[in-house]
Amino acid sequence: MEKFDLTPLLVPYLDRHLVLPLMEFLAAKEIYNKNDILQAKMDILSKTYMLDYFIDIITALYPGKNLDEVYERRAEILDQLITLKEANKDILELLTNDQVMANISGMREGPKGLVAYLTKEYDFKIESIDRFYTLSKFMYECGNYTFATSHLYFCLLVMPPTDKNYLNVLWGKLASEILTQGWESALDDLNKLKEYIDANTNSSSLQSLQHRTWLIHWSLFIFFNHGKGRDLIIDMFLYKPNYLNAIQTMCPHILRYLAAAVILNKQRRSALRDVVKVIQQESYTYRDPITEFLEHLYVNFDFEGARQKLHECQVVVFNDFFLVACLEDFVENARLMIFETFCRIHQCISIGMLAEKLNMNPDEAECWIVNLIRNARLDAKIDSKLAHFVMRTQPMSPYQQLLEKVDSLSVKSEALQALIERKVKARTQDPRWGQDYNN
């Protein structure tokens, strides 16, 4: 199962605190040696201020080891925390004042208006925000994500986007929301960070590509936990050219999650053609049972191959941190996709044959088909004597055809716009542009 584990590919693009939940998951699944996981946790924790957790891991890995140095470091960190809290006493008092926070929440004037209000009413000095940011980051490194979230939120309220720490605050706030599982707030922070990266003209193309690659990986936590995530991941990864380019250039392994999202989302079947096209383009750099399942089914129309890959997919999904919660939905939808594709080719189908294609026994397959017919998701009738079912024709509705054409035009328009913007930017940055070469 190690060969299908994406953790080694995901970790370089995640903050070390975000890696810890993945390590816990791998330990529970027993995919790797227990001591190897403990060693990986110890290496991660040694670069944080989460010393109590670090002591637990090092004790489990090396029983009887002398920990005097660790306890000394722990005492130093506690002293630093007390010093930082004392230095930021004025702002901390503001944050614990319910009246002040109510007034701040109701204001719509932006950072300048808020700073002016706090300066006038509470003698707040914007210069103090740098040391408060230091405290917020310190709290995050200690693993106190709840306090880090509220502190970084205040930083965002008073900081202008031009502040040297603004981008770091955006990343820190997003990580804190993910680690406290505040998915609504995390989605808002994801969108703010995305807008900032896309609008930032001061970054080089390489820096923007790196930021988008990190954002793609961090967004997985949100998309597979938020109610609208299965739609949003398709919109961002497939239909935003800059992010699709980042996936193809830097992290083709993310195609696993894009393919899984399309399989899981019955309402976005129109995206299948586009996803399969990208999977084919990148098949020389990345493939796994989930991407191969779609290739077998929609490129080769190899139902036996798709059936075998579906069995492998179940193992992959069960052992994937982001997909494991979707296992039942994934299998159900993958079976439905095999069934729908098979029915487009054959009108009269043996239930026994279909059961084999779907990795089910004949009785389960018959009950499954009956439920589809009962729920008005299948226009067919069953012949119980012959153990066959007969499909009626199901032409695509004009509405669905229109939706697919609009989606396709939207993608092409956005890609064209991005190309024009890149060319204009290249021309304006070229010092030779506009020179008279006849002289």
pLDDT band of 40, cuts 50, 70, 90: very high
Cα separation of 180 and 322, whole Å?
16
Cα separation of 193 and 189, whole Å?
6
Query: From the CA atom positions of the chain, what is the Rg in Å?
Result: 27
Residues 6+ apart with CB under 8 A from 434: none
Residue 430's pLDDT is: 55
Mean pLDDT check: name the lowest of 23-27, 126-130, 271-275, 403-407: 403-407
Which residue is it, tokens 């690659």?
Answer: 213
pLDDT band of 436, cuts 50, 70, 90: very low
Contact indicator for 260, 317 with CB cutoff of 8 Å = yes
Q: What is the mean pLDDT of the chain?
A: 87
pLDDT band of 116, cuts 50, 70, 90: confident
Cα separation of 6 and 216, whole Å?
14
Rounded to an integer, the average pLDDT of 383-389 is 67
Q: Residue 388 phi/psi, 5° resolution?
A: -120, 160
The four Cα atoms 242, 215, 213, 136 give a dihedral, to 10 degrees, of: 140
237-274: per-residue pLDDT in tens? 999 999 999 999 999 999 999 999 999 998 888 889 99
Rounded to an integer, the average pLDDT of 381-387 is 66
Cα separation of 306 and 118, whole Å?
63
Q: pTM of the entire structure? A: 0.84
Contact indicator for 194, 211 with CB cutoff of 8 Å = no
Contact indicator for 1, 319 with CB cutoff of 8 Å = yes
Contact indicator for 18, 145 with CB cutoff of 8 Å = no
324-379: per-residue pLDDT in tens? 999 999 998 998 888 878 777 766 777 777 777 777 787 777 787 777 766 645 55
Beta bridge mates, 350: 388
Please determine, for residue 404, whether its predicted confidence score (pLDDT) is greater than 70.
no
Q: What percent of the chain has pLDDT over 90?
A: 59
Q: Kindly report the number of other CB atoms within 10 A of residue 359's CB atom.
A: 17
The residue ranking higher by pLDDT, 429 or 13, is 13
